[in-house]
Structure 1
């Protein structure tokens, strides 16, 4: 049973997933800082506040204390998600795709073209085909 567990843990995709999770967690700090410290203050400079938390907010309560319902908080979360997704796409995904395209083009250019068969190879192929056709008769 332990041998099976060892094989499972040491499989490449499990290790890759673990590494991806650690890198993703570290990268979350970068994207959070980008949104909270760069993009949101920029939006605040343009519009006056970086959050929509108080937009469409109202108090509700039938008995005693009233609860504040903030639809703007949902709007703020949606806008932050879009900003994080855009930051990741334009600062990570798009450049990495460009690098991958350049690498693939370079590898394709460097790959040796398949050489045409030599006269000897053509002759051997003809002999093989003739022998195969004679065996089928």
Structure 2
């Protein structure tokens, strides 16, 4: 029982559970955005946002290919919304934070050129520098 308790209370499992719950809530939000704003925009441009009525009948069997087209368009729209509203801003923010932490160069106080952090002399103006 102790091993099971440790398994349930591990950080990774709890983080995964939180991610699933947040993901489900975010899915509802993005779906509402697509239904409320994106699909009407598609209807303005293309005339019809829902292609689920499209089908072809072969040998008495109906193949509703419009359902797949509607799902594919919704997937692409949702993927684009998630990328441009979540992934791209988060990536840019993380780049800024890590760039500041991992600065490999600093500015020379004399000539304002970039020199390595551990340099004791500027390679451009040859002034002495105090190592960081």
**Structure 2 residue aligned with 1:82:** 76
- In the TM superposition, residue 114 of structure 1 has moved relative to its aligned partner by 5.8
In 2, distance between residues paired with 1:38 and 1:97?
A: 26
Q: Residues 101-116 of structure 1 correspond to what in structure 2 (within 5 A)?
A: 101-109=95-103, 113=117
Structure 1 unaligned residues grouped into runs of 5+: 117-137
CA deviations over 1:63-120 (Å, ceiling 9, x no partner)? xxxx64311111111111111111100110001000000111122249xx5698xxxx
**Structure 1 residue aligned with 2:39:** 40
- In the TM superposition, residue 29 of structure 1 has moved relative to its aligned partner by 1.2
**Structure 2 residue aligned with 1:119:** none
Higher relative contact order at CA 8 Å, sep ≥6: structure 1 or structure 2?
1
In 2, distance between residues paired with 1:3 and 1:114?
A: 50
> Cα RMSD between the aligned structures?
2.6
In 2, distance between residues paired with 1:68 and 1:37?
A: 30
The number of residues matched between the two structures is 110
Structure 2 unaligned residues grouped into runs of 5+: 105-116, 121-132
- In the TM superposition, residue 12 of structure 1 has moved relative to its aligned partner by 1.0
Between structure 1 and structure 2, the one with the greater Rg is: 1
**Structure 2 residue aligned with 1:58:** 56
Provide TM-score, normalisation by structure 2: 0.73
* Runs of at least 4 residues off by over 6 Å: none
